[in-house]
Every structure is written in structure tokens, then in C-alpha cells.
Chain A
Amino acid sequence: MYSQKLMEHFLSPKNVGEIPDADGVGGEGNPVCGDVMKVYIKVEDDKIVDAKFQTFGCGAAIAVSSMITEMAKGKTIEEALKISKEAIAEALDGLPPQKMHCSNLGADALKKAIQDYLSKRKTSEDVN
């Protein structure tokens, strides 16, 4: 059902955990539906220098989280916002149709983390 690439990211996920002093945090999903993703990002000079995740969910959800944090690292905020659910699925060599919502969830969690960073930055700029 799953590609070899997806299984690799599921069995040995990259970037698991929290970033205690994260610049942006985004959560998406609901345990009632079976998937919750939380993405943490660290930003320097408009670039995502670190990304981590915590996920409650199926194999696809965990692999998507691992992949999206990998894809986000090293990208500028503008580039990272453009990561689409299709791009994540493609990077994992495809997702079964009934699991496409997992890549959606991943893309949304990352977007929320970036928005969180942007709103915090705006607040601090306003203060200064």
C-alpha cells in the first residue's frame, strides 16, 4: 500500500520532537479523526534553519510529517509557504488516495507554524 520511501520515513522519521524556543508553532487535526500534527520552526534571516514535529496518527501521517520538516529546512519563508500537498505526496513517491488528507494536514500544519512566526514577528516589530 505504501511506497518504500514512505515506509523509510515512517520507520525512521527525521526531525521528531519539539523546539523549546521555536519561532513558530502550528498544529492541525483532531485526535477524534485520528491525526494530529504539530510543527515547530526556527527562523533566522527569513530562512527556516530548523524544523521538528510531533504527530499522533497513521504511518502516512508520520511519514508526511517527517518529509515536510525535511522539505521546509533551508527554505525561505516565502518558499516554504509554497510547499503543496501534491509536492509532499510526490516526495514520498506517492500516497494512497485515502491518505491524501495526511499530506494536506502536513502542508496546513507547516503553514500555521509560519503564520505563527509571522504574527509574532509583526507583534515584536510593533513593539519596537
Chain B
Amino acid sequence: MRAYFDHVATNPLDPRVLEAMLPYFKDEFGNAQSVYDLGLRARDAIELARQRVASLINCKPSEIIFTSSGAEANNFAIRGIALARQNRGKHIMVSRVEHHSILNSARFLERSGFEVTFLPVDNYGMVDPETVKKFITKETTLISIIHASSEVGTIQPLKEIGKIAKEHDIVFHTDAVSSTGNIPVDVQELGVDLLSLAANQFYGPKGAGALYVREGLRIVPLIYGGVQEGGRRAGTENVPAIVGMGVAAELAKEELIERMAHVKGLRDRLVVGLTSHIEDIQYTGHPQERLPGHASFLVEYIEGEAMLLMLAHKGIYAASGSACSSKALKASPVLLSMGIPSHLAQGSVVFTLGKDNTLEEVEYCIEEFPKIVERLREISPFKKGWQQAV
């Protein structure tokens, strides 16, 4: 059996999305900037996609800028706003549980003479709005807080933080890559000025992202060139990917409630199944305020990459925040900033469910994963507890 439980890495492409994209790889190959019919049809297709994406997050189509990825949208937002507002001040705030595309953009600004506050989080990985308030200075121009953590699933209190930002005339951005298309995301309700999203997180193609920029807000481009995207993001438009993103957005909007109920049911079964069959396992992230298909754990005395490989050997695909499972060989900064000690962070394992997963797959995982844990604990010198030193 194959059970794909790594939807935070990427979602599979919905066949209906693929179908809609195909003509734009073939006969409809025109450049959307061309004046003749082939170009006009490509441009129309992009504008339809823009409407669909705007409708998913409740904004105007003109407030959507297409990008190549969620990471580009995040880079664009952080640098573009910090630079556009640097005459007002040179202080920005991001949380410590951001994606690398936010953290490293913030560090770039830090090296370029900006002051950056990396906001602490509680044991659930949640930012306290009161903490945000405490660090605001007259120089603060931008706050960026992730909507939902891909590593622990926790959903941040954006509405409260948005209110605080507004009171202080600070621009508010959220990285909603892992939430958009998976839970309701409404830019008006959240009170955000900018929002990043990516199509491959809601069954669209890779290489398609977008940044919502509230009307009237000035942003410095990341990519200079032609007139595409109103001159704010140059480069020949990736028409098939944008079309795919539009269709995926429309489907996500239509099927959102149904998908949420489905993955939540499976997730709850998985959590109960695994925690009742495995000793010394902790559920990480917020128990309620979290993505519905997200189950993250710390399994004591064993290491994440070894778990992932054994799971993959059984056809089960998952993720981990352990040092050895990362290219950088460092334990996840998200887990560490939540106060989880390094040795426990090594045992991180994350299952993220999707609309096409079945109860049968979940039951298969509940049957196989405890055996894998037992096998790895047999090998581990810590099988009897951490105190058993080397």
C-alpha cells in the first residue's frame, strides 16, 4: 500500500487542474503580452485565474500578483515593503517560527542595516499578540507572522495581531502558504495587508505562487523588467501554471468544507491510533488551533530520518524536523524555539493528510508505524530512557 502523508511538502496535482493546464502547454502557447489573438487568449486565461485566486481569499483581482512560488512571494513581501517604507523607519518584526524564506529575507535586511525583532513563541509555537505590542517602536514598518505552521500545524492569532498593526500604522504580512486552500483564508477578516500563497499546497502545480497586496500599498519589486503584473513582477508569465493555480483555487473554494471535514476525521483517528499504540510519544503544536489535516509528534529515543526511511520502505511518506533529515544537519528552528530540547527534536515526525487519503491508509499507518518505532528503539541505546548515558 502507498500512503502519501506529506502534503506540507507538496500536494499531488488534481487531475482536473492538469486537464485545464494542458492546452497552455500545447496550442495555446502564446505570450500574454502579445497583441494578437494567441497573446490575448493567454492574457484572458491569466485574468480569469486572477479572479479565481482573488475569490479564494476575498480580495480584488487587481490585488493579486502572481509569483513563481510561495518563497518568492515571501521574499517579495519582506524586502519590498521594508524598502518601500524605509524612510519611515528601519525596524521589522517576524516570528521565530517562520519559513526560511521569511527568516532569511529578514536576515538579509538585518545585514543591510535594518533592525529585526524575531518574536518568541509559546510551547505550542504560538505568538502572543501582547508580545508583538511590546516590541513595536516608532521605527517599526512591517510585521510578518506565519498563518499556520507547516511543522506543528499551529494557527496564529492573526486577527488580534492585525488590529495591533493597524493601530500603529504598521504594514502586516502573513505567510499563508500552508493554510490557503486548506482552511478559510479571508484577507479582510484576518486584517492583513499582504498575504503569500502557493498553488501546490492546494492541489495546484508547483512553480505558481501569488502575493496579495492591499490596494494603494506601495511595494518595491523583487524582479525588474517588463510590464507584467502591472510592472511589479517582471518575467514572461508562466501561463499553464497560473491557469492551474486558478482552477485549483476555484476547486479549493468549492470543496473547502468537505475537504476540511475529511482530513480532520482522518487526522483525529491517526492521532488517537498512534498515541494509544506508542509509549513516550508527544503531540506537538496546538491541540485545537491547528490545521485540520496536520499531525505532528515527537517520538522519544529514536531519530526522525530513520523513521522516515522505514516508513517510506512501507510506502508511507511523512516529514521530520530532525537534524539528520535536513540538508543543513540542524534540528528545526521551529521546534527549538518552542522550547523543545534538541535531543527530543531529533524524534520529530509529521504526517499531513490530504483530500485523497483514505481511512484504510490511516489504519495501515497505525498498524505499521508502532512496529517501526519498536524496531528503532530496539536498536537505540536509549530504549530504556534518556538517562542511560553513553
Listed in ascending order, the chain A residues whose CB lies under 8 Å from chain B are 2, 7, 10-11, 13, 16-17, 27-29, 31-36, 38, 54-62, 98
- Assess whether A13 is in contact with B379, with CB atoms less than 8 Å apart: yes
Bound: A60/B304 CA distance, A = 12
The 3 closest A-B pairs by CB, nearest first: A27-B390, A58-B324, A31-B343
Bound: A13/B303 CA distance, A = 16
- Assess whether A38 is in contact with B390, with CB atoms less than 8 Å apart: yes
From B136-144, B189-197, B305-313, give the one contacting chain A: B305-313
- Assess whether A34 is in contact with B378, with CB atoms less than 8 Å apart: no
- Assess whether B322 is in contact with A28, with CB atoms less than 8 Å apart: no
For B390, give its contact among A13, A36, A61 (CB under 8 Å). A36
For B378, give its contact among A16, A29, A32, A35 (CB under 8 Å). A16
A–B complex contacts, Cβ < 8 Å, 11 sampled: A10-B309, A11-B313, A29-B390, A34-B322, A34-B346, A35-B303, A55-B381, A58-B303, A58-B305, A58-B306, A59-B305
For B346, give its contact among A13, A31, A55, A59 (CB under 8 Å). A31
- Known contacts A56-B382, A61-B303, A98-B329; 17 additional CB pairs below 8 A are A10-B306, A13-B379, A17-B378, A27-B390, A31-B342, A34-B323, A34-B329, A34-B331, A38-B390, A54-B381, A55-B380, A56-B303, A58-B303, A58-B305, A59-B306, A61-B306, A98-B327
Bound: A10/B324 CA distance, A = 15
Listed in ascending order, the chain B residues whose CB lies under 8 Å from chain A are 301-306, 309-310, 313, 322-325, 327, 329, 331, 341-343, 346, 378-383, 386, 390
- Which residues does chain A contribute within 8 Å of B305, judged by CB atoms? 58-59
- Assess whether B327 is in contact with A56, with CB atoms less than 8 Å apart: no
- Which residues does chain B contribute within 8 Å of A31, judged by CB atoms? 342-343, 346, 382, 386
Shortest beta-carbon distance, A98 to chain B, in Å? 6
- Which residues does chain B contribute within 8 Å of A34, judged by CB atoms? 303, 322-324, 329, 331, 346
Shortest beta-carbon distance, B249 to chain A, in Å? 34
Bound: A7/B301 CA distance, A = 21
- Assess whether B382 is in contact with A57, with CB atoms less than 8 Å apart: no
For A16, give its contact among B323, B343, B379, B390 (CB under 8 Å). B379
- A32-B342 contact given A62-B306, A98-B329, CB 8 Å threshold: yes
Shortest beta-carbon distance, B335 to chain A, in Å? 13
- Assess whether B323 is in contact with A56, with CB atoms less than 8 Å apart: no
- Which residues does chain A contribute within 8 Å of B313, judged by CB atoms? 11
- Which residues does chain A contribute within 8 Å of B386, judged by CB atoms? 31
Bound: A58/B325 CA distance, A = 8
- Which residues does chain B contribute within 8 Å of A36, judged by CB atoms? 381-382, 390
Majority DSSP secondary structure for residues of A touching B: mixed
Shortest beta-carbon distance, A16 to chain B, in Å? 5
Chain A residue, CB-CB nearest to B378: A16
- A33-B390 contact given A56-B380, A56-B381, CB 8 Å threshold: no
- Assess whether A56 is in contact with B302, with CB atoms less than 8 Å apart: yes
Chain B residue, CB-CB nearest to A54: B381
- Which residues does chain B contribute within 8 Å of A54, judged by CB atoms? 379-381, 383
- Which residues does chain A contribute within 8 Å of B331, judged by CB atoms? 34
- Which residues does chain A contribute within 8 Å of B302, judged by CB atoms? 56
Q: Which of A2, A7, A10, A57 has the most CB of B within 10 A?
A: A57
- Which residues does chain B contribute within 8 Å of A32, judged by CB atoms? 341-343
Chain A residue, CB-CB nearest to B344: A31
Bound: A33/B322 CA distance, A = 9
Chain A residue, CB-CB nearest to B346: A34
Chain A residue, CB-CB nearest to B322: A34
Chain B residue, CB-CB nearest to A66: B379
- Which residues does chain A contribute within 8 Å of B382, judged by CB atoms? 31, 36, 56
Shortest beta-carbon distance, B146 to chain A, in Å? 25
- A33-B323 contact given A38-B390, A56-B301, A56-B303, CB 8 Å threshold: yes
Q: Which of B306, B327, B329, B343 has the most CB of A within 10 A?
A: B306
Shortest beta-carbon distance, A56 to chain B, in Å? 5
Q: Which of B305, B331, B386, B390 has the most CB of A within 10 A?
A: B390
Bound: A32/B386 CA distance, A = 11
Chain B residue, CB-CB nearest to A17: B378
- A38-B303 contact given A11-B313, A32-B342, CB 8 Å threshold: no
